[in-house]
Amino acid sequence: MSKKTVPGVLGSFVHVDSAVEAISGLKAKGFRDLTVYSAAPNHEIEDALDQPISGVRLFTLLGGLTGCAAGFAMTIWMSRDWPLLVGGKPIAAIPPYVVLAFELTILYGSLCTVAGVIILSMMKSLKGRPYHPSFSDDKIGIFVPCPAEQTASVHDLLTRAGSEEVTVHGA
């Protein structure tokens, strides 16, 4: 069974500045679907990639709002179902219920965050994209998916930017 690879060019960089220069050059040429491998987060690379903000925070917001609403709804419903009349106070007093609503906000928010990370991770597939173990140690890798006609120009751009090693995959 052969492993299907995405055709493209993989460049290996030692210096962050060279990688950022390569990313900027590739984006200027119109390449958008870049895969960048790095051992540690780097803000210069993130800024050069100009990625959209992750959708995980929407999962967190919706989970938190659901938890807060569920906390208040549950406590009010239980108070109405089993009323404890004490000193003329209302059956459903909001201030004591804030604690439970807060706890459910945190619980639902965190669970929905984990679910959001899993769901969004499954949606983006990196299968078939080449990888080298040195990218987890001391090098930065940039994979540019492109058709065979453009591999020469991408190879040249990565080499001029300071790539230590450039390989063509799936061509």
Count of H-run helices and E-run strands, the chain: 5, 4
Joined tokens for residue 50: 């100009």
pTM of the model: 0.72
Residues 19-63: tens digit of each pLDDT: 999 999 999 999 988 999 998 989 999 999 988 888 999 999 999
- 125: nearest Cα among 5, 26, 12: 5
Q: What is the mean pLDDT of residues 72-77?
A: 96
**Residue 2 falls within a domain, yes or no?**
no
Say if residue 137 is in the same domain as residue 155: yes
User: What's the domain count of the chain?
Assistant: 2
Residues 129-139: tens digit of each pLDDT: 888 888 988 89
Say if residue 111 is in the same domain as residue 135: no
How many CB atoms within 10 Å of residue 121? Answer: 11
- Average pLDDT over the chain, rounded to an integer: 90
Domain containing residue 66: 56-123
Say if residue 115 is in the same domain as residue 132: no
Say if residue 98 is in the same domain as residue 137: no
Residues 91-143: tens digit of each pLDDT: 888 898 999 999 999 999 999 999 999 999 888 776 778 888 889 888 999 99
- When pLDDT is cut at 50, 70 and 90, the band that residue 1 belongs to is very low
Q: Is 30 exposed, middle or buried (0-12, 13-18, 19+ CB in 10 A)?
A: exposed
Say if residue 131 is in the same domain as residue 156: yes
